[in-house]
A = this chain, B = another copy of it.
Amino acid sequence: MKDVAKLAGVSPITVSRVLNRPEIVATGTAERVREVIERTGYVPNLLAGGLASRKTKFVAAIVPAISNQVFSEAIQSLTDRLWESGYQVLLGTSGYPASREEDLLAAILSRRPDGIFLTGISHSAESCRRLVTANVPIVEVWDLTPTPIDMLVGFSHENVGHAVAEHLLGRGYVRFGVISADDARAEVRRKAFLSHLSTRGIADLSTVLVPAPSSFRLGREGLGRLLEEAHLPLAVFCSSDTLAHGVLAEARSRRISVPGNLGIVGFGDLDFAAHTFPPLSTVRIDRTAIGRRAADALLGRIEGKDVERIADIGFQVIERGTT
């Protein structure tokens, strides 16, 4: 920067201004400086800039796994929206369960992000303390709680459980099962599903728990295990479309008629859900909206605006061919 300044016949601070607040520099000067920058191929150092200004222009995002479509789409829209405002995304994957979250958070806070995007609302006590101390805008997503650390963009997993139960009851099913990954949010949906059914006098239902992350194979095996203790006709609520897809395949191979003898509801409305045979009934979450609104929340807070702390983006039970 010093060299650029010398070549342009100005002081370094003027170069800095041309780059960051061009509106306060005389047009002629700015042009001259820009020409030198172009000619020399000068690349500013954002580390130094960030150190001096305490603004790093990036946001850290923590998700359990980016290879999960559900999260990758949210990250995509987060990245896109932030890019428009000149921010970038530092990615961290915490794993299932969030075994690395604490270390990850420490590593991330060392970089002084301007904002943090966190998947889920349950973090270790130590993590929470660090986050609060860091005094940085934080948005938690994928869940709802009245007491977020800072901001929140999510939906009620409890309501999902209720809504799916209600939907299946409406379709006339009287026996129910759950195939669920071992995951905190899936667990909330499962419990709500059960409790809703029990308020309707239905206590008779079996649960199969499978390890996270869920997979097609686990879905197939899950149905097998479920049918050892439950008998048809039956409606199954799966904690993900991936599991549901496996259940559907297993049903076909056992020549169980879907939705006649076996109702299936997934979760997520992944790409393939509308294209299975029959197409999968499921719960749709607007993943893109999560990323976008989370970005807006962070940007708003960064700019010191008054942003709403909690956004419930809801969900939709999608009735297709498996119920």
Q: Are A88 and B66 in contact (CB under 8 A)?
A: no
For A48, A50, A83, A91, the residue with the greatest tally of chain B CB atoms inside 10 Å of its CB is A91
Task: Determine the chain B residues whose CB is within 8 A of the CB of A83 once the complex forms.
Answer: 93, 100, 104
Provide the bound-state CA to CA distance between A104 and B56, in Å. 16
Q: Are A43 and B134 in contact (CB under 8 A)?
A: yes
Q: Are A66 and B58 in contact (CB under 8 A)?
A: no
- A14 beta carbon closer than 8 Å to chain B: no
- A210 beta carbon closer than 8 Å to chain B: no
Which chain B residue has the least Cβ–Cβ distance from A67?
B76
Q: Are B65 and A76 in contact (CB under 8 A)?
A: yes
Interface string of A224-262 (1 = CB under 8 A from B): 000000000000000000100110010010000000000
- A69 beta carbon closer than 8 Å to chain B: yes
Provide the bound-state CA to CA distance between A249 and B275, in Å. 8
Q: Are B130 and A41 in contact (CB under 8 A)?
A: yes
Q: Are B277 and A277 in contact (CB under 8 A)?
A: yes
Within 8 A of B (CB), among A34-54: 41, 43-48, 50-51
Q: Are B79 and A93 in contact (CB under 8 A)?
A: yes
Provide the bound-state CA to CA distance between A48 and B51, in Å. 6
Chain A residues touching B, majority SS: helix
Provide the bound-state CA to CA distance between A130 and B41, in Å. 8
- A73 beta carbon closer than 8 Å to chain B: yes
Task: Determine the chain B residues whose CB is within 8 A of the CB of A128 once the complex forms.
Answer: none
- Interface 9-mer from A5-13, A105-113, A192-200, A311-319: A105-113
Chain A: interface residue count, which band? 35 or more
Provide the bound-state CA to CA distance between A104 and B58, in Å. 13
Task: Determine the chain B residues whose CB is within 8 A of the CB of A44 once the complex forms.
Answer: 110
Interface string of A72-93 (1 = CB under 8 A from B): 1101100110010010111111
Q: Are B58 and A51 in contact (CB under 8 A)?
A: no
Q: How far is the CB of A97 from chain B (nearest CB, A)?
A: 16
Within 8 A of B (CB), among A94-120: 100, 104, 106-112
- A216 beta carbon closer than 8 Å to chain B: yes
Task: Determine the chain B residues whose CB is within 8 A of the CB of A89 once the complex forms.
Answer: 90-92
Can you list 19 pairs linking A and B with CB atoms under 8 Å apart? A43-B106, A43-B110, A43-B130, A45-B51, A47-B111, A51-B51, A67-B69, A67-B72, A67-B73, A67-B75, A69-B69, A80-B93, A83-B100, A86-B107, A88-B107, A216-B274, A242-B271, A245-B272, A246-B275
Q: List 4 extra interface pairs beyond A79-B91, A88-B107, CB under 8 A.
A: A58-B111, A75-B91, A89-B91, A216-B274
A residues neighboring B (CB under 8 Å): 41, 43-48, 50-51, 56, 58, 65-67, 69, 72-73, 75-76, 79-80, 83, 86, 88-93, 100, 104, 106-112, 129-130, 133-134, 216, 242, 245-246, 249, 252, 271-272, 274-275, 277
